[in-house]
Structure 1
Amino acid sequence: MNSQYRKSLPGTALDYFDTRAAVDAIQPGAYDKLPYTSRVLAENLVRRCDPATLTASLNQFIERRRDLDFPWFPARVVCHDILGQTALVDLAGLRDAIADQGGDPALVNPVVPTQLIVDHSLAVEAGGFDPDAFDKNRAIEDRRNEDRFHFINWTKKAFKNVDVIPPGNGIMHQINLEKMSPVVQVRDGVAFADTCVGTDSHTPMVDALGVISVGVGGLEAESVMLGRASWMRLPDITGVELTGRLRPGITSTDMVLALTQFLRRERVVGAYLEFFGEGANALTIGDRATISNMTPEYGATAAMFYIDQQTIDYLRLTGREDEQVKLVEQFAKHTGLWADSLTSAEYERVLSFDLSSVARSLAGPSNPHALLPTAELAARGISGVVENQPGKMPDGAVIIAAITSCTNTSNPRNMIA
């Protein structure tokens, strides 16, 4: 950790790194023009990168250049049991090798806090009509994965910096959003923005909280676990202005399917999207998380929302400690990560989408961009009045399906609907 630009964070006993001072020292007034993503990544550099390369790296953000790689040190790693277990097996093997050479195997641990969430091995064998379905399915899961779960439980005790969430607690992205992300980290007396990499393509779901969180492969996650930087160049940071509001009866699924169609058409592959505007301000964190979760479906790398009062309300709703919630608000407002501080942010490209234009529709799962408006179902012969015809369900029939998509888990309204 560096020492230059380290200052006291007003209203707390903590320090922070004054990224605004570092950026404006190079070009006065430049910090106010930076997008949210650039501000977070720039703070990471001011705090962690080699001081000899700091100015050159910050210039990439200020001048919107892409001719230099710079390091990013994610604050934590989130893994599901399949890829996370593989990484920990590698570390266990490294321990064996150290022991064979006469060293202390207990010294081999992840350097970066690692959260392993067991959620990728449950299969629905007993239907929801069975009142004991959950217990039966969990028992089958434990029996089929006995050896794997034994190893995972061992890692929880054997390794430092590893936190294991056992099976039966939910989907990793839901847990990351509701429990695991502090939004603002505190380490060695310093407060800084939470960031993470995860071994699943839908890891960006927690971008809804203003946390840069991207999906990576197992090898890259393992490298980050061991404290190595993830090297990158300035990404394409695209602003997406959301105008209007969703009409009554329109779900966040309708919204995200329409947005996916729009963003695929606009070709945002690999981009870091930042959603802002009156429409974004009015969306709940649950609705924002639905948009962020679908990041891989429209091909982007991240789908960020600014920190604002909706974020604070959500942290309280999900049981975060009062002191932590207060810290998030103080830190965001003081460091320019609060929504009101980003009205002057400049983007190389800005898209606009009107939420009031969203209609109820069907789509997917393999083609989420191919929308089918429900208003056209009868005209296309998909629906209509059916009176007890063999092989067809009568008009008004209701089908209840087990939807396992993590896109819905952020949103209780969606789950119930």
Structure 2
Amino acid sequence: MNTDYRKPLPGTDLEYFDTRQAVEDIQAGAYNKLPYTSKILAEQLVRRCDPAALTDSLKQLIERKRDLDFPWYPARVVCHDILGQTALVDLAGLRDAIAAKGGDPAKVNPVVPTQLIVDHSLAVEHAGFEEDAFEKNRAIEDRRNDDRFHFIDWTKTAFENVDVIPPGNGIMHQINLEKMSPVVQARTDGEGKKVAFPDTCVGTDSHTPMVDALGVISVGVGGLEAESVMLGRASMMRLPDIVGVELTGKLQPGITSTDMVLALTEFLRTERVVGAYLEFYGEGADSLTVGDRATISNMTPEYGATAAMFYIDGQTIDYLKLTGREDEQVALVETFAKHTGLWADELKEAEYERVLTFDLSSVHRTLAGPSNPHAHLPTSELAERGIAGEWVEEEGKMPDGAVIIAAITSCTNTSNPRNMVAAGLIARNANKLGLTRKPWVKSSLAPGSKTVKMYLEDAKLLSELENLGFGVVAFACTTCNGMSG
């Protein structure tokens, strides 16, 4: 870490880097006009950049230039088991090579904290209407992945800076959102002093930006780039296209976050935001819970952006408390954000090179598809588009266009309590009306964390879902990777 602009953080025993002062020393009044993303990038430059290159790098952000590469040092690496294991195998191979040369293999470790979540190995062989489906699917997963899981277990004790979440616990993005991200890091430097700075991360999955909903720059990368970050190398970048997205209005009653994000995805694809960092703000964004915000951020790859940021505000603080973060950590997030200009109220003067506007009150009930998440399909047009219509039931035959798989899963949906409770209420009403699952439909429920099962049980809605054939089959990713059946 650098020493210039390092100061005590008021109200704490921590230090921080005064990015505002560093920017103002170059151009007076510039800091308040920076977008949220630029403020985060500027802070890590002040903290980590070669002092000789600091002024030129900060000018790229201040003057909205894209002439020079500058370094980005993500604070964490988050991996699913497929690509995460591959990276750790490379490090294990490097240990062998060093040992062969007479060196100490134990010195080979990730420099950056690395979190590996085993969530991409389970296939739903036993559907949600089968008894003990969860236990049966887990047994098959362990049998098929015995060698892999043995290696992953070894990495927990063999490597420093590696934390492993074993199979059967959830999806990496939902766990990242609910548990892993501190939003503001507090780490001890080489001199034994603790320094506070914004949490950032890269992840080996396209939906890694889900935690952008907490104000954490979190982007999806390939395995090689993640491995480079693990080893402490800077990820070189130029100032991205930062687009402001003003959300106006509020969602109408009965409209879910899934309805919202499908409509928003169609809108953003037409606005060509590929590769951009989006920043959502306005009265509409203020009214959204972190669960709803996470649904928007999670769909970043579907509308082609790199990140989908929300400011830190009262909703963020409420969510951190709800998900059991320590009181001291929650207080740090609020203190740091307000003191460093990352709190929502401090971003009223932020200037964007491009601003889009989307009215949340315009969202209606909708589906995706039938084949692509951006193919907006209002429920009012199902018959018109030939997807739904009259049919005559014939003995022993399925109707044309029949649904054969119904999976309640994915971090996009199961991270949002409103969505999951709504599913439970629909199941309860379906049971009251005597509706049943057709025998050809493979139904399943695979939440992104065990928390979902707990609150569904508390609300007495899990049994309603089970009666329809939507019993819990896994806590893992089962749709985006094709494992739901």
TM-score in terms of structure 2 length: 0.83
Q: 1:139 to 1:98 in 2, by over 3 A?
A: same
Find 1:258's aligned residue among 257, 260, 263: 263
CA contact (8 A) 1:60 1:66 kept: yes
Provide the residue aligned with 2:97 in structure 1: 97
Q: Paired residue for 1:283?
A: 288
Which range is displaced more, 19-28 or 380-389? 380-389
| Residue ranges of structure 1 left out of the alignment (5+ in a row) | none
Cα RMSD (Å): 1.7
1:213-264 deviation line (CA, Å, top 9, x unaligned): 0000000000000000000000000000000011111111110110110000
1: distance between equivalents of 2:178 and 2:16? 25
What SS does the corresponding residue of 1:128 show, helix, strand or coil? coil
**1:49-128 mapped onto 2 (5 Å cutoff):** 49-128=49-128
Identify the match of residue 388 of structure 2 among 370, 383, 389.
383
Equivalents in 2 of 1:183, 1:135: separation in Å? 34
Answer yes or no: is 1:135 the counterpart of 2:140. no
* Equivalent residue in structure 2 for 1:356, among 343, 357, 361: 361
Distance 1:339 1:365, change over 3 A: farther
Deviations 1:281-323 (A, max 9, x none): 1001111000001000100000000000000000011110010
SS of the aligned residue for 1:139 comes to helix
Corresponding pairs, count: 415
Equivalent in the alignment of 2:204: 199
Q: Which amino acid aligns with 1:329?
A: E
Residue 217 of structure 2 aligns with which residue? 212
**Following TM superposition, by how much is the alpha carbon of 1:127 offset from its aligned partner in structure 2, in angstroms?**
1.1
For residues 365 and 163 of structure 1, do their structure 2 counterparts lie closer, same or farther at Cα, with a shift above 3 Å needed? farther
TM-score norm. by structure 1 comes to 0.97
Q: Aligned to 1:401, what secondary structure does the other structure show?
A: strand
Using the TM superposition, name which of 407-416 and 80-89 deviates more: 407-416
Please state whether the residue corresponding to 2:412 is helix, strand or coil.
coil
Alpha-carbon shift at residue 129 of structure 1 (Å): 1.2
Select which of 267, 270, 273 maps to 2:275: 270
**Correspondent of 1:323 among 323, 328, 333:** 328
Cα 1:97–1:380 change in 2 (3 A) is: closer
Shift of 1:400: 7.9
Deviation at 1:382, TM superposition (A): 3.5
Partners of 2:122 and 2:137 within 8 A in 1: yes
Q: Distance in 2 between matches of 1:353 and 1:201?
A: 24
What is the deviation of 1:101? 1.1
- The percent identity for this pair of structures is 83
Q: What is the match of residue 186 of structure 2?
A: 186
Instruction: State how far apart, in whole Å, the 2-side matches of 1:402 and 1:149 are.
Output: 26
Residue by residue over 1:18-46, the C-alpha shift from the partner in whole angstroms, topping out at 9 and shown as x without a partner, is: 00000001000000000000000000000
Partner of 1:408: 413
Bigger mean CA offset, 93-102 vs 365-374: 365-374
Match of 2:301 in 1: 296
Structure 1 counterpart of 2:319: 314
**2:343 is aligned with 1:346:** no
Following superposition, the deviation at residue 379 of structure 1 comes to 3.6
Question: Which AA in structure 2 matches 1:265?
Answer: T
Q: 1:34-45 counterparts in 2 under 5 A? A: 34-45=34-45
Partners in 2 of 1:369 and 1:52 — Cα distance? 45
Q: Deviations over 1:54-101 (max 9, x none)?
A: 000000011000000000000000000000000000000111111111
Measured in 1, the distance between the counterparts of 2:46 and 2:95 equals: 34
2: CA distance, partners of 1:115 / 1:72: 19
* Structure 1 residue matching 2:414: 3-state secondary structure: coil
Task: Please tell me whether the aligned partners of residues 386 and 392 of structure 1 are also in contact (alpha carbons under 8 angstroms).
Answer: no
1:145 aligns with 2:150: no
Q: Deviations over 1:89-116 (max 9, x none)?
A: 0000111111111111111100000000
1:370 paired to 2:370: no
- Cα contact 2:275–2:305 (8 A) shared by 1: yes
Distance in 1 of aligned mates of 2:336 and 2:404? 47
Superimposed CA distance per residue, residues 94-144 of structure 1 (whole angstroms, 9 cap, x where no aligned partner):
111111111111111000000000000000011111230101100100000
Amino acid at match of 2:417: P
Contact 2:369/2:377 (<8 A) preserved: no
**What CA distance in whole angstroms lies between the structure 2 residues aligned with 1:259 and 1:89?**
40
Corresponding position of 2:31: 31
Give distance in 2, aligned partners of 1:293 and 1:340: 24
**Could you say what secondary structure the match of 1:356 adopts?**
helix
Runs of 4+ displaced beyond 4 Å: 384-393, 397-400
The residue matched to 2:358 in structure 1 has which SS?
Answer: strand
Once the two structures are TM-superposed, the CA of residue 392 in structure 1 deviates from its matched residue by 6.7
SS in 1 for 2:252: coil
